[in-house]
Amino acid sequence: MQYKPIKAIFPGSFDPITNGHLDVIKRGVKLFDRVIVAVGQNPLKDELFTSEQRVAMIRDLVADMPRVSVEGYDCLTVEFARQVKADVMLRGLRNLTDVQYEFQLAMTNRSVAGIETVFIMTSEEFGFVNSTMVREVALLGGDVSKLIPVSVYEEVKKRVAERRGT
């Protein structure tokens, strides 16, 4: 039997990418031959950055990870998984609330598209961090510098200043 490299997609809006997301990427690349960070669009969210901006920021962050690539998409995640011929979907879990939601999503994705989901528990220090919370805290003037990569923090500060007109 010949070995088949395993390709995973790690989908999300990543608006902005957090240290928790990077933790999952770094740990995921130890498990899979290739990880595609799949940057999606969520029309229900008030996005801080465009899809193109998020892709560029993440590409800079993973530039030293040769088996990680970053691609934007604007279709159903399972359709994108088919397009890139992904074997599995990689998802991070932070808490029990995530488990229930992600379990339902994983079962639906397997039923609809036949794609398996592999979960990685985030490291303890990132168990409370999510992009929505980072956006909200930043927009309200709070310090999110410990929650996101330094380069992303600089971009968040610029974007918040633009939105405030300062």
Q: pLDDT tens digits, residue range 76-99?
A: 999 999 999 999 999 999 877 778
pLDDT band for 110, please (50, 70, 90 cuts).
very high
Catalytic residues: 21, 45, 94, 131
> How much is the pLDDT for 66?
95
In this predicted structure, the answer to whether residue 150 has a pLDDT above a threshold of 80 is yes
In this predicted structure, the answer to whether residue 62 has a pLDDT above a threshold of 70 is yes
Q: Tell whether omega for the bond before 16 is within 30 degrees of 0, i.e. cis.
A: yes
pLDDT band for 166, please (50, 70, 90 cuts).
low
How far, in Å, are 15, 78, 114 from residue 41 at the CA level? Answer: 9, 14, 23
Q: Which tokens is 5 given? A: 């490299």
Note the pTM of the prediction, 2 decimals: 0.92
Q: What is the DSSP letter of 130?
A: -
Residue 156 near residue 144 (C-beta atoms within 8 A): yes
Domains and CATH numbers, the chain: 7-127 (3.40.50.620)
pLDDT in tens, 37-50: 999 987 777 899 99
**Residue 70 host element (H or E):** strand 68-72
